[in-house]
Amino acid sequence: MKGKSAVLGLMMAAWAAVAMAQPAGDVSGIYKKDGGELAVLQGDNETLLYYGAGFTQGQSVGTCECPLVLQKKDSATRWTLKSADSEDTWTLRMEPGRLSLAGGSAGCCGAGWPGEDAFPRQGVTPPRTCKVKAPRAYFHDSNAQNTQRKAFVVAGDSVQAYVPSIEPDLVPARFAGKRVTVGLLRREQLDCKAPEGGAPSASAAVDVKPIAGKWVRVQRKGKGYVLERPCSSETPSFNLQAGGVMDVNYGQEGEQLQVSAAKPGAKGAYSLEVTSSGGSRETLAWTVADAKRGIVLLKGGTGFFREGAHFVRESKMGGIPVRAEKCEDEYE
């Protein structure tokens, strides 16, 4: 680091191996659980966090993708946070064995979010180690304008960054020199290695050609299936590209996932690891429910697919009867 360098990091130097031994004042790290992820990048003058998770929202699924900023340390074990995208106020509690996050509003997570979540401290992982490849890489604020700061790092500097699977233009970053400075750096100016044991990034495409295509949800009816046509929403579906990008339409909301790992099984089955734009990961079991009709069952995780959902390949939809909901305007 030279001059006014200051930078990135997601977490500190003593990571996974010593995470449980860290004092309460130093909680930098990436905390994960099935269907959710919390990243903490702690600096001397600023601390950034990122919360990503999915939750059940009626018959659909809601998602949280929340960039957060430390506003005040109320105590050694309690922080007040503010959303970088809205006026939401959050609370982070450092409890024995876990970090608990509470607060927020529909502005970040949408309606139906339970209002709190928790992540185990055990298994905390480090961020990626990155080399700066631009002559100068300036830090940016986490405000709406992403204002460029005076501080920068230069080519060859080693930094740490939190890089979600579906990579944004600016990533939370941290440089540990005489002082630890945290801010946002441009992803294109960094050459980052994947963390040890981590899943491949969105740029490392997974080949899922055998199951690629558009799939539309169907419901079981007796020994067969029926295609529901509701009035107030679309029929849930997803479009899976050969490289692993998965665009999901939950009916009223949608999101883009990335298949970061795919393991083939017997009789057309797959075990898919999918990653949200916020970086949270979950495993889905793909099984062939009816090969003749082109129907599969997708099950797993904590959100929409938790109880299992059947889908028919779009090219096979013609063989599935449609059950349309009676809409109010049909009575007029």
Distance CA 214, CA 74 (A): 49
Apex 85 CA angle, 80 and 89, nearest 5: 25
Model pTM greater than 0.75? no
Distance CA 181, CA 153 (A): 11
Nearest Cα residue to 136 out of 151, 119, 121: 151
The pLDDT assigned to 11 comes to 34
The pLDDT assigned to 181 comes to 86
The pLDDT assigned to 132 comes to 94
Cα dihedral value 106, 108, 110, 111, nearest 10: -30
222: CB partners within 8 A, 6+ apart: none
Nearest Cα residue to 311 out of 223, 210, 214, 245: 214
Cβ atoms 227, 321 nearer than 8 A: yes
The pLDDT assigned to 284 comes to 92
The pLDDT assigned to 182 comes to 93
Instruction: Provide the token pair at 58.
Output: 């009626």
Instruction: Provide the token pair at 317.
Output: 């939809």
Instruction: Provide the token pair at 195.
Output: 């963390």
Produce one character per residue of 100-112: b if its CB has 16 or more CB atoms within 10 Å, e if not: ebebbbeebbbee
Distance CA 101, CA 88 (A): 13
- Assign 258 to helix, strand or coil: strand
| 3 DSSP assignment | T
Task: Decide the pairing of beta strands 89-95 and 78-83.
Answer: antiparallel
The pLDDT assigned to 194 comes to 63
The pLDDT assigned to 58 comes to 63
pLDDT tens, position by position, 273-282: 888 776 677 8
> Over the chain, what is the mean pLDDT?
82
The pLDDT assigned to 296 comes to 95
Phi-psi group of 245: left, alpha or beta (phi > 0 → left; psi -120 to 50 → alpha; rest → beta): beta
Task: Decide the pairing of beta strands 309-313 and 128-132.
Answer: unpaired
Block means of pLDDT (10 residues each) for the chain, 332 residues, are: 38 34 63 86 90 73 83 91 84 92 76 85 86 94 89 91 81 88 93 61 65 94 91 89 89 86 88 80 90 92 87 91 78 44
Residue corresponding to tokens 């930078």 = 7
3-state helix, strand and coil shares in percent for the chain, rounded to the nearest 5: 10, 50, 40
